[in-house]
Structure formats: C-alpha cells, structure tokens
Structure 1
Amino acid sequence: MAPLEETANDRNGETARAAQPVDVQQTVLDQVGGPMGMVYSTIPVVLFAAAVPFASLPVAIGGSIAVALALAVFRMWRGEKFMAAMGGVFGVAAAGGVSAVTGEAADFFLIGIVAAGLAFVGSLISQIARRPVTGMIWNAVHGGKYAWREDRPTLLAHDIATTAVTLMFAARYGVQQWLYLADSTTGLAIADTVTGFPLTAVAALPVIWAFRRSTKRLIKPATA
C-alpha cells in the first residue's frame, strides 16, 4: 500500500473513532469504581454507626477510616484505579474530621447532607432555566458541540432525567436533614445506605435512557 493511502486510512480510522459515541454510563460508573464501589462506600458508614453506641467517638471515627483504607487497598489490589479506590477514604476522613471537631456523632453525615441540598438546588435551577443538568453533562462529555436543546424529544428526555435526579436529591436531603435534627446517628446511617446506592440506581435509569436517546438522535454513526 502506498504511503499516501496508508495516511488516508489512518486519518479515516481516527475520524471513525472520534465519531463513536462516548459511553457516558460507563464513564460515570468508572469514577466511583462501578456498582461495587458504591456498595463499598457504605460499609465504613454502617460500621461507624454500629460502633458509636459502644465506643468513644474518636475510636468510632478511627475505626471507620481504617476500614475505608483497608477496602481501598483491597480494591487497588483487585486492579481498580487509585482515585476510584481512595475516594471513599477521602470522604470518610472528611466526615470524620467534621464529627471530631464538633464532638457530635451525627455531624459525621453533615457533609453529605449539605452536598445533597446543594445538588437539589442546582438541579432544580437547571430545570427552571430550561437547561436540564443531565443534558448539559451529556453534551459536555461529547465535546459540547451538539444543539441538544433544539431537539424537542432530546430536551424532553433530559427534562425527565433531571426531574428524577432532582427528586433523588430532594429525598436524600429531606430524610437525612430530618434525622439529623432528631440526632439519630443510627437512622442517619440507615438513610445514608438506603438513599445511597439503591436510590441512585433507580434515578440512574431515566438518566441512562436520556443519554442513549440523545446519542441515538444527535450523533451520526461513524459509517455515515
């Protein structure tokens, strides 16, 4: 094959690869280590709540951090990326730091409650502004070059997906805030577990559907 033909084929191959849609679902899951990564993140929280009634607060905090670190080492040994494995350790350490400073066990969950509240407000504002956040994320992942808001079926899909996300964060914030005011550490641990992976998995279904619908409608196949 002539050099010019090889160069043309290489360029065509690169163009075809660039035209392939990004698997947003896989990209997001990779950041947290997949479904099991979300499960691993709940274990130190549950152990913290279980230890608080029987041990001092520093011991409970130290134990939860130690368990999170052990799980991170195990996950890296299984081949997971450093940031995906260590993310849980950073989260538990930050939560434990807040609880240690205030001296209140319930404050272990304070960062998560505030984050859920801010996420709820942010996703709600994106809907009011007619720029649903799931659509903005999809477009950003795909280079920010698609007029997704001008395609009504795509915009509707992201309206539905963002509504699901907004309701998820609203439920997470509302339940945990109520339990926080009631100073129920055990209840907070249960709520954190239930509104964590299970509720996120339910909310992810319309988001994944919206991502796939957007890709199907707006991104031409590589062979086009």
Structure 2
Amino acid sequence: MGSGPTGRDETEDAPAPTILEQMGGVPGLIYSTLPILVFVPVNAWFGLSAAIIGALATAGAILVYRLIRRDNITPAVSGFIGVAICAYIAHRTGDAKGYFRLGIWTMLVYAAVFVLSIIVRWPLVGVVWSLVNSAGTAWRKHRPTLIAYDLATGVWAVVFIARYLVQNGLYDTGHTGWLAAARIGMGWPLTIVAVLATVWLVRRADRDEERFADETGIDENDRSQR
C-alpha cells in the first residue's frame, strides 16, 4: 500500500467515483446503445436470429475493446449480461420487440423503488450518497437537506416513469423501430441530465448539512456515527 510523505495512504484522498463514472462515463453510456443500433436494422434486413447474433457480437466486442484498453470493465460486463438476457427473451417470444421487454419492466421497478424511498423518508439518493461517503444519517434530521435529497431522488423517479410509459406504449402497439429510438433518446441523454441535476442538488444538500452541523455543534465524527 503506497503512502505519501505524511504517512497517509494515498487512496484515502482519492475522490469517490461519480455516478456517471460508475456507469462507464459518457463513452459507457454511448456503448450501451450500440447493440440496439445493430439489433433493429439487422432484424429488419436479415431476421430475428441474425439480429440476436449481431447484438451479442456487438456487446462482446465492446467488452473485449475495454479489456484491451484496460478500462473499467464492470459496465461492459453488466451490459453484455443485459444484452444476453434481452436476446434470450426475444428468442423465446419469437418477436423482436421482446428484446426491449426486460428494460421496460426494469424501469417500472426502478421508478417504484425511488418513489417508495421518498414516501418512507429515506430518499435513495441520500442513502447511497451517505453510504459512499460514510456520512451517517444525521442529514435526515435537517429538513432542507432531506428535501434536497427528496428532489434528487424524484428526478430519477420521473426519468424512470417517463421511460416506462413511453416505451411500454410503443411495445404494446408493436412499433419496434420507434421503441429502439425511444430507448436511445430517453437513455443516456436523460441519464446525463439526471446526473447533473443530482450533483447540483447533492452539493446543495452538503452545504446545507454543513451549516446545520455548525449551528448545532455536530462535528464530522458525530455525523458519521449517527
């Protein structure tokens, strides 16, 4: 374990990865759309079996590419597994739109979890942020901070609800091409918007919490133990 001149472990000062970085950054979000961009036209020109092979091959190529570059492969691995499951569903249903079924229902589950976390007063963004930064749960005692985390969580809930409603409607009407367009158009662009909104709200919440700690005499050690 390397340490600097002060004897501290250099990893202690390393900033925690952002939400966007954990998702593979902007390249990772773009890579996630490539299997879909292959699947839809190949299905239209050569049929479902060829489309499934094309999507799997594209996801596999992305994984190999990131391995060669020694990038973080976690998003690529999870992406490949996701594509494999979607391809399996499409194969079992015998319909190209089945490729999108898992993603649609996943959006509904995510939306429900985020909304429920707000209702029970444990907004998910606040919980995750506190766990990553070992900040404890004192933020729940400060209403402005809690509201900021509620809003950040609400942003993600709205994104997931919108994705589900639009894509499920297209799925039910069998518009596979438009469904693919909606998946891409409501995918990484909305994710980036949600991430930016989350970062702004979380930073605001942190400032509010620091002021609250100063006013009440709660130091960082007290906060982390609560």
Distance 1:22 1:145, change over 3 A: farther
Aligned partner of 1:42 in structure 2 is 33
More RCO (CA 8 Å, sep 6+)? 1
Kindly indicate whether residue 142 of structure 2 is the aligned counterpart of residue 151 of structure 1. yes
TM-score, length of structure 2 as denominator length: 0.83
Cα offset, 1:122, TM superposition:
0.9
Match of residue 94, structure 2, among 77, 83, 103: 103
TM-score normalised according to structure 1 size: 0.84
Q: Which moved more, 1:88-97 or 1:137-146?
A: 137-146
Partner in structure 2 of residue 4 of structure 1:
none
**3-state secondary structure, aligned to 1:52:** helix
Name the residue aligned to 1:140: 131
Kindly indicate whether residue 172 of structure 2 is the aligned counterpart of residue 176 of structure 1: no
User: Matches of 2:120 and 2:143 in 1, distance apart?
Assistant: 16
User: Which region of structure 1 is more displaced relative to structure 2, 207-216 or 190-199?
Assistant: 207-216
Look up the SS of the partner of 1:115 in the other structure: helix
What are the ranges of 5 or more consecutive residues in structure 1 without an aligned counterpart?
A: 1-8
Q: Residues of 2 paired with 1:58 and 1:176: CA distance?
A: 23
Correspondent of 1:126 among 107, 114, 117: 117
Structure 2: stretches of 5+ with no match in the other structure: 1-5, 211-218, 222-226
Give me the whole-angstrom Cα distance separating, in 1, the residues matched to 2:205 and 2:142. Answer: 9
Shift of 1:182: 0.7
Distance (Å, rounded) in 1 between the aligned partners of 2:47 and 2:175: 16
Structure 1 Cα separation of the partners of residues 14 and 128 of structure 2: 14
1:117 is displaced (CA, Å) by: 0.2
Following superposition, the deviation at residue 91 of structure 1 comes to 1.2
1:206 aligns with 2:205: no
Query: Do 2:104 and 2:168's aligned partners in 1 also have CA atoms closer than 8 Å?
Result: yes
Alignment-derived partner of residue 6 in structure 1: none
Q: Which residue of 1 aligns with 2:215?
A: none
Instruction: State the Cα distance separating 1:218 from its structure 2 match.
Output: 4.4
Q: Which residue of 2 aligns with 1:92?
A: 83
Check 1:144–1:115 CA distance in 2 against 1; reply closer, same or farther (3 A cut). farther
How many residue pairs end up in the alignment? 208
Q: 2:153 aligns with which of 123, 147, 162?
A: 162
Superposed CA deviations along residues 14-40 of structure 1, whole A, max 9, x for unmatched, are: 6x975x6953xx343333211110100
CA RMSD of aligned residues (A): 2.3
Shift of the 17–66 alpha-carbon distance from structure 1 to 2, 3 Å rule, reads closer
User: In the alignment, is the contact (CA less than 8 A) between 2:108 and 2:161 conserved in 1?
Assistant: yes
**CA positional deviation for 1:44:** 0.8
Higher deviation after alignment, 70-79 or 131-140: 70-79
The residue correspondences of 1:10-21 to structure 2 (distance < 5 A) are 10=7, 13=8
Greater Cα offset, 188-197 or 122-131 = 122-131
Cα deviation, residue 156, structure 1: 1.6
1:76 to 63, 67, 77: 67
